[in-house]
């Protein structure tokens, strides 16, 4: 069963973190640009109306984007979400959360649910937002770490001695 993404209340409370963060932060700017409702509409058909409520689509999609952006493991992105207010707001939270949003295995299940097409759709949003600026005009290859041939060490042969000598 699909759960709903958190919605910001018209009247902000004491613990509302969205008004206390730098609104120019790159994650918050990216979060404003992504069309989260289109993701939710696209993935809604993959959820049943029965059973335990699943995690919000924005949360799970946001965690996948953060994982990709920062080259993190499933476990790391979940742990860092708990500590990073910008991660929380990017994923749709409006109040500070002190517990992890999900178990890392739920990201695996979400990827299985949306399939390869869904993953491509999530990451295509970032490219669509940035347009041609997302493409690198040139690719630089660092060749300073190539293997170098080691000099062959000359060993002197020692005369063999028998144990009885």
Q: With a cut of 60, say whether residue 13 has pLDDT above it.
A: no
What count of Cα atoms within 13 Å lies in the side-chain half-sphere of residue 114?
23
Per-residue b/e over 129-165, b at no fewer than 16 CB within 10 Å?
eeeeeeeeeeeeeeeeeeeeeeeeeeeeeeeeeeeee
For the question of whether the overall pTM of this predicted structure is more than 0.95, the answer is: no
* CA-CA-CA-CA dihedral for 89, 65, 52, 7, to nearest 10: 30
| Res 118: pLDDT | 92
Per domain, the residue ranges of the chain are 26-46+54-129
Residue predicted with more confidence, 15 or 89: 89
- Average pLDDT, whole number, for the chain? 81
What percent of the chain stands above pLDDT 70?
68
What pLDDT band is residue 10 in, cutting at 50, 70 and 90?
very low
| Res 69: pLDDT | 87
């Amino acid at each position: 069963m699909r759960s709903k993404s958190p919605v910001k209340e018209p009247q902000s409370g004491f613990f509302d973190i969205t008004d206390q963060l730098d609104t120019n932060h790159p994650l918050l700017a990216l979060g404003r640009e992504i069309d989260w409702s289109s993701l939710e509409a696209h993935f809604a058909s993959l959820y049943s109306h029965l059973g335990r409520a699943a995690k919000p689509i924005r949360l799970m999609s946001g965690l996948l984007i953060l994982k990709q952006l920062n080259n993190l493991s499933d476990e790391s992105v979940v742990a860092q979400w708990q500590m990073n207010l910008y991660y929380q707001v990017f994923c749709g939270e409006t109040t500070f959360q002190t517990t992890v949003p999900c178990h890392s295995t739920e990201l695996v299940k979400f990827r299985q649910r949306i399939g390869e097409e869904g993953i491509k759709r999530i990451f295509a949003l970032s490219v669509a937002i940035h347009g041609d600026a997302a493409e690198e005009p040139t690719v630089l290859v660092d060749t300073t770490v190539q293997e170098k041939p080691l000099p062959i060490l000359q060993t002197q042969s020692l005369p063999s001695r028998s144990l009885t000598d």
